[in-house]
Amino acid sequence: MAGTITTRFMIISDTHGFQFGDAEKVRGAFKQPLPKVDVLLHCGDLTERGGLKAYKDVIKMLSCIDAELKLVIAGNHDLSLDGAYWYNKGCDPDDPEDYAEHEQGIEIMKGQLAKEAGVTYLEEGLHTFTLTSGAKCTVYASPYQPEFCGWAFPYERDEDRFNLPHQSAPLVKNIAVNPVPDFPGIDIMMTHGPPRDILDWVASPPGATVGCNALLRAVSRARPLLHCFGHIHEAYGATTVIWKDDKKKIGADAIEDLSPQPSVYPDSLDWPIKFGRETLMVNAAIMDLNYKPRNSPWLVDLELPRAA
Ligand code: 5GP
Ligand code: MN
Ligand code: MN
């Protein structure tokens, strides 16, 4: 495609403390050798419950993957990376070591150790990167998901974190501090949780779908090339959303069709995404429901714009 640069992505999520070497013990699907890619995306739940050693171990695991850019967000299990959660209910305020874990955890994820491993830890919002190939990539990232069992990075189901007030559904409380821009503002969305009714079905209660309505509204406005997430381990998979021509349609109304994509790892998905017309949705949870690393990474080639 003229004016674009083909860029190879590897997408993973929900590794929950996994280290290479563990996979073989359970005949897992996430194991070395992993292919070299341009960009690695990790969609959160890096650890089991946070902790400084656990964050260092995540950096160690990510250092084993060969990618020019490694973009990482947190998830609900990475407790102390959420300052609001940590100071309000996560830590013991009378234990100085515990209290300090948020700042020290962020330092591990963003400091020298992360730099040496090529890791870029993303907080919620917009981030733009230029690769050595000249490809430019604008990413919207968010570790937040609907409240479930009192973990970190929560919002309530009747709250909208992702849209401007006039774009929210009726009777919903808008709490967005970093709303998702309209098409063509972003190339990639990385969230910990899935949008509503897309790779979000749960084992319990059986067949229920638990993805976020406000997030579906936001992704339907933004129409990125790729929206990747994890969180719902049992809904691992990929599907291409084909959007309606009318960009005024929002949420489920904006979807014309869905085309499920089987995993072809270690090959790359063979479906060239049409920007503005399609979004590849990927639930990349490596761990299954029993926290065993049974799922493969996803490899995707995307056409990114050339930096000016
Ligand atoms: P995690 O604890 O790793 O964030 O999520 C693990 C599992 O908890 C998911 O695979 C899913 O089965 C369940 N889970 C997470 N969030 C929700 C939710 O909002 N509703 C329901 N019913 N289950 C959830
Ligand atoms: Mn998880
Ligand atoms: Mn999770």
Mean pLDDT on 178-183: 98
Ligand 1: which of 12, 45, 148 to mutate, most ligand atoms within 8 Å of CB?
A: 148
The reported pLDDT for the residue numbered 21 is 83
The answer, yes or no, to whether residue 306 has pLDDT greater than 70, is yes
- Helices 101-110 and 52-63, packing angle to 10 deg: 10
Model confidence at 23, pLDDT cuts 50, 70, 90, reads low
Rounded Cα distance between 184 and 198, Å, is 21
Residue 193 Cβ inside 6 Å of ligand 1? The answer reads no
Neighbours of ion ligand 3 (CB under 5 A): 45, 75-76, 231
Residue 232 Cβ inside 6 Å of ligand 1? The answer reads yes
Mean pLDDT on 262-285: 96
Residue 119 Cβ inside 6 Å of ligand 1? The answer reads no
Name the residue at shortest CA distance from atom 8 of ligand 1: 232
**Which ligand is the nearest neighbour of the Cα of 147?**
1
Q: pTM higher than 0.85 for the full model?
A: yes
The reported pLDDT for the residue numbered 24 is 56
Ligand 1 atom nearest the C-alpha of 146 is 19
Residue 146 Cβ inside 6 Å of ligand 1? The answer reads yes
Residue 287 Cβ inside 6 Å of ligand 1? The answer reads no
CA 14 from chain centre, in angstroms, equals 9
Mean pLDDT on 54-69: 98
Ligand 1 centroid to residue 202 C-alpha, Å? 7
Domains of the chain listed by start with CATH number: 4-305 (3.60.21.10)
The answer, yes or no, to whether residue 77 has pLDDT greater than 90, is yes
